[in-house]
Structure 1
Amino acid sequence: MRVAVKRISILVVSAVFCAAFWAVQPVFAAEPINIGVIGFASPAPGKSLFDAARLAAEEINAKGGINGRLIKLFEYDNHGKSADAVEAFQRAVNNDHVVAVVGVWISEVALALEPWSSRLHMPFITTGSAATMISSMVHDNYDAYKYTFQLQMNSDQLAQSVADFLKDDVVKNLGYKRAFIACENFAWTQSLEAGYMKYLPAAGIEIVGNLRVAPDTNDFTPIYSTIEQQHPDIVVTGWAHLGVKPTVQWHEQQVPVLLAGINAQASTSAFWDATNGATDGVISQNEASEAPITPKTLPFVEVYKKRFGVSPAYCGYNTYDALYLLKNAIELARSTDSDELVKALEKTNYTGVQGRIVFLGKESPFTHCLTYGPDFVLGTETQWQNGKLVTIWPKQAATGSLMVPDFVKHKSAAQ
């Protein structure tokens, strides 16, 4: 089996000499705190995940590290494969002696790592995987799976966030009340689809159709034809691996339906170039966006864009917060012991770039997942408008208003 590629980011590690004994003997810096980062590096979400981890580690180290110890990142590209991720996780723990692992934006990979987090007693914070099973496993067998935390709104919460936006902005302001659900066929969308079926009717939206799209789909013409036959106002999506092709073909074919829901790749400014502008008008739910969500959000985005040339993808926000959560947990626990870190992480009450982070407790069916809501993490809705990614919901963080593409306007006016 091919070993997962590992890159080591050693951030500002230098020998430190004690001034009082300068002429006698050098005193070297304390051992670094090793943290593993695992992800599928080549797609936009994966690149953002690694970049955000580096940025957070550099910031923390520049301010003295964690209790005087610098962070040393060990990075592993799992190439989108669970087997490579498991091998990387084992290597991180047994060879590189990490104190925690963060990352992973594919739910199937996170679910493959969760049992290894349990076996090796290694804190694992997934920062991009949404399957509800990740946190429900912690609830169902806490003693075994307590080492896993889901620093990502799960699929049920994502569906609720999308429905809340549609109710506030689309149903209320446009009168659009007919939706067709189109999700890619992956683990994370099983609970997303179930969430849509539950929350959309409660938001006043009639579901007129539902289909799951194969991951290797290239031609979306028959899919859009099937959707149009049901005369929906909105296509409510669940796309993370898919994104570019259905977006481009929606625009090229002028499909007269508003494209909303979740299009994870559309969460970064790189998506405009990837679709050659075809993403104009597309709406997508995000963990956070370039908006005044908290006092920390815009400064993070500005530094990130200056450093990497694009805005963060959804899991970039989460991974950046994850490093600070680990810093706080280690300082609170005064230890890097796994069980002590779990206890400290469970006490998290931290305002990060995506909102106020509090993990759900044992009583919740989603133990160790984020708490969803206006006073916690609510998510945002963004829309591509003339080359800019505009935050249109929630109202308190909005940087612009919902825009309906001309070819969708023509359709709605004819009804």
Structure 2
Amino acid sequence: MDDFEPGSGNAGDSAQSDNRRGLDRRRVLKTTAGGTVGLSFAGCLKTAGSIITGADADPVTVGVLAPNPGSNATGRSIVEGARIARNQLEDNGGIDGRDVELVVGDTNSSPLEARRQYQRLVLEEGADVTVGVATSEALVALMDDIAEQQVPHLTAGSATTAASRLVNEQYEKYKYHFRVGPLNDVNLGETQVDFLADMSGQIGWDSVAILVEDYEWTKNLWDVYQNRLGDTPVDVTMSQRYPPATDNFSTIYDEVERSGADAAVISAAHTGTDAVLDWGPAERKFAFGGIHVPMQLSSYYGMVDGACRYAVGYAFATPESKNTDKTQPFLETYQGRNDGAAPVYTGYISFDAVRLFAKAVEGAGTLDPDELVNELEGISVTGTTGTIEFHGPDHKHAHDVIYGKENIHPLYYQWREGDDGAGVQKTIWPDTYETTDYVDPDWL
């Protein structure tokens, strides 16, 4: 197993493109029936065999796809994590002696714009790999383009198993997709179940209400809850998949209280903040936690004026966690570049994705996409969130990162108030990462 080597991550960079160069690749993008923007020939072909090194060698180009990186924490973390990785590579000789450049595409949280930006990065900027994509809808929209262009794509944000299912069912066409993170939507649900199975008795969550926002990314989570929670010691008092437009949880929480649940276990991204604000300040008579994307922000406690105190959340890493010996060095570099702000999960993943690609290129000794696919399928690397390995082509989750204690294992934390009045994310599970014991809200 290889480790990512440390680096300062302070090489120069720019907001949109690092060392941008002209076209150096000939690719053809076939316009689909949906009628998105079509681009055709793009310059001359890069060497597809052994890497040419030396002063005359072309740079290795990394294309980064992120939603609204100027204003969105998920998108900003994707870009910044990738940029830190690129800078570290540059500080340590590049990739097999070649310079590394970064080009960024703002997907604007739109599947159509994601396709436009992907085409630009691959056809105009000559990307040798693309990294990122934060929503399931955008990734699904890109899968045929990734297959057509045969450029490796390393997902760093979307959880949908629709992508890995395509790899499994039509391997030769879709084999260029790998998910470095997050865990896929099935594994996300399994992590939630594993947490409840291990910790429910210890933290007093003997009965729970399952609340899931009705979005595409939660469909498989919902199925996992329905099929697996019955095998745990937890009594499920109610299950509800609530509408996407929900911005007032009073009625839902009334039902949770009537059900007698010890805790509301949520799966929320878009509706998460409203769910918190209607819980903590109202001192609802149950604990609260689960997969809650907004609560992963290290600044979230201040953003909601402490309303998330005692809430339990899920993350790949927190500012205090030490998943591997790579976690804290990356975090410190990120915070040093971002006025002390910590990344959300996509920052850790995109950093690991770029470093992983560099290892694959160096191992394969080529930029040939098929050789890189072979190298990635057998790779094992220590990243910031654990040991990164991928399921093989025959697995139902083909080319997804492997979930488990020996690989990538997320953590659960509890928001607590520190001595200075600021909120801190204290890890409560698994025991290998644990920094504190769970405590009940002080109004229960």
| TM-score, length of structure 2 as denominator length | 0.83
1:214 equivalent in alignment to 2:250: no
Pairing 1:383–2:414 present: yes
Aligned partner (choices 172, 181, 190) of residue 160 of structure 1: 190
Structure 1 range deviating more: 39-48 or 147-156: 39-48
Please tell me whether the aligned partners of residues 18 and 103 of structure 2 are also in contact (alpha carbons under 8 angstroms).
yes
Deviations 1:15-53 (A, max 9, x none): xxxxxxxxxxxx956321111111112322222111111
Deviation by residue 1:247-299 (Cα, 9 ceiling, x = unmatched) = 12211221222212101121121212221221111211212333121111122
For residue 59 of structure 2, the aligned residue among 32, 38, 56 is 32
Match of 2:387 among 340, 356, 379: 356
Match of 2:269 among 232, 236, 240: 240
Question: 1:177 & 1:103 partners in 2: Cα distance?
Answer: 38
Deviations 1:135-173 (A, max 9, x none): 12211111111111111211111122122222222x221
- Tell me the residue number matched to 1:141: 170
Specify which of 70, 74, 77 is matched with residue 45 of structure 1. Answer: 74
The answer to whether the Cα contact below 8 Å between 1:291 and 1:397 also exists between their aligned partners in 2 is yes
Q: Say if 2:170 is the partner of 1:118.
A: no
Shift of 1:349: 0.5
CA contact (8 A) 2:130 2:153 kept: yes
Is 1:176 equivalent to 2:210 in the alignment? no
In the alignment, is residue 96 of structure 1 matched against residue 125 of structure 2?
yes
Distance 2:171 2:263 in 1: 40
- Alpha-carbon displacement from aligned partner over 1:194-214 (angstroms, at most 9, x marks no partner): 112233222212222222233
CA, structure 1 residues 9+247, in 2 after alignment: closer, same or farther (shift >3 Å)?
farther
In 2, are the aligned partners of 1:287 and 1:380 still within 8 Å (CA)?
yes
CA distance in 2, matches of 1:262, 1:121: 34
1:244-259 matched pairs, under 5 angstroms? 244-259=273-288
Q: What is the distance in 1 between the residues matched to 2:203 and 2:273?
A: 27
Kindly indicate whether the alpha-carbon contact (under 8 Å) linking 1:29 and 1:69 is maintained by their aligned counterparts in 2.
no
Task: Please give the alpha-carbon distance, in whole angstroms, between the structure 2 residues aligned to 1:188 and 1:140.
Answer: 21
Q: Distance in 1 between matches of 2:310 and 2:439?
A: 7
- DSSP-derived class of the 1:401 partner: coil
- 3-state secondary structure, aligned to 2:279: helix
Q: Which residue of 2 aligns with 1:344?
A: 375
Q: Secondary structure at the match of 2:427?
A: strand
* 1: CA distance, partners of 2:72 / 2:225: 26
RMSD of aligned residue pairs (Cα, Å) = 1.7
- Contact 2:203–2:438, Cα closer than 8 Å, also in 1: no
How much does 1:192 deviate? 1.0
Match of 1:191 among 220, 232, 238: 220
Distance 1:228 1:115, change over 3 A: farther
State the distance in 2 between where 1:264 and 1:137 align.
Answer: 26
Mapping of residues 292-371 of structure 1, within 5 Å: 292-308=322-338, 309-371=340-402
Q: Quick check: 1:8 aligned with 2:17? A: yes
Q: Which residue of 1 aligns with 2:438?
A: 402
Aligned to 1:23: none
Give the residue type in structure 1 aligned to 2:429: W
Indicate conservation of the 8 Å contact 2:168/2:393, yes or no: yes
Q: Which residue of 2 aligns with 1:16?
A: none
When structure 1 is superposed on structure 2, of 358-367 and 203-212 the one drifting more is 203-212
With structure 1 as the length reference, what TM-score do the two structures score? 0.89
Letter of the 2:409 counterpart: L
Secondary structure at the residue paired with 2:178?
A: strand
- Which secondary structure does the structure 1 equivalent of 2:358 belong to? helix
Give the superposition deviation at 1:314.
Answer: 1.2
Gaps of 5+ in 1: 1-5, 12-26, 411-415
Secondary structure, counterpart of 2:16 in structure 1: strand
Of all paired residues, the percent bearing the same amino acid is: 31
Give the Å deviation of 1:361: 0.7
Q: Which amino acid aligns with 2:58?
A: E
Give every structure 1 segment of 4 or more consecutive aligned residues whose post-TM-superposition deviation is greater than 4 Å: none
Match of 2:301 in 1: 272
1:228 aligns with 2:257: yes
Per residue, is there more helix in 1 or in 2? 1
CA distance in 2, matches of 1:203, 1:36: 43
1-side partners of 2:89 and 2:309: how far apart? 37
User: What are the Cα deviations for residues 335-390 of structure 1, in whole angstroms up to 9, with x where unaligned?
Assistant: 11221211111111011111111100122110001111111111111221111011
- Structure 2 gaps, min length 5: 1-14, 21-53, 418-422
Q: Secondary structure at the match of 2:432?
A: helix
